[in-house]
Amino acid sequence: MAPYLATFFVVCLLVNILNAPYKIQITEFVSIAMMISLYGLPLMVVIIGTVILLAGIGRTLRGFKILPQIFGLLTLGFISSAMDYVPWIDFGRHLQASSLAYAGFYAQVVRAILLCCEYAREEKPVGWKRLFSECIGFPAVTAVFMPASFVLFTDWLQWRNGQHEVDCQTCAHWSA
């Protein structure tokens, strides 16, 4: 895992130091390459496809609060059995390859459910550019720390809403 972290850190550092154009797209490309190298192409395709599918459902069901949650829970419950019908992916073998892949896959499905619910809450329709950017680009760090994607999603949501500073008074009960 350390070589992947080092590679990701160096690439992000170089992109920022050199002030490269298309920083987000470069980070997205590195994220996808790292996901392929860590988890294999079939599992990466299933993860990205699931996130895009649920985000699209959330975009379509704008204004409904329960339906996106139902779709998300159905996806979470039946994705393993649904992937058995696609034998060329060999989903079970890829998922059981390591405990990190297993935990990370389900963490990404939960993140996809949260995106679905978030897009359904939006008053204005979410643009396709934003949808693809958040579905593919945001896992730039979660490609390496996939089990932490739930925490990173809430961090991203706070960052997007301008609440990125930590208030020490609200965290005082954690240290007690």
pLDDT digits (tens, 9 = 90+) for 9-68: 787 778 778 877 877 677 777 777 777 776 677 777 787 888 888 888 888 888 888 888
Q: How far is CA 81 from CA 41, 76, 87, 89, in A?
A: 19, 10, 11, 13
Cα three-residue angle 39-41-47, rounded to 5 degrees: 70
- 71 versus 39: the higher-pLDDT residue is 71
Average pLDDT over residues 101-106: 70
Candidates 126, 111, 117, 128; CA nearest to 64 is 117
Q: Is 51 helix (H, G, I), strand (E, B) or coil?
A: helix
Q: Return the minimum-mean-pLDDT range out of 64-68, 76-80, 167-171.
A: 167-171
Q: Which of 17-31, 105-119, 159-173 has the highest mean pLDDT?
A: 105-119
pLDDT, residue 147, reads: 41
CA–CA dist 125, 15 (Å, integer): 32
pLDDT digits (tens, 9 = 90+) for 116-140: 888 888 888 888 877 777 776 554 4
> Which token pair is 106?
């389900």
Candidates 162, 160, 171; CA nearest to 121 is 160
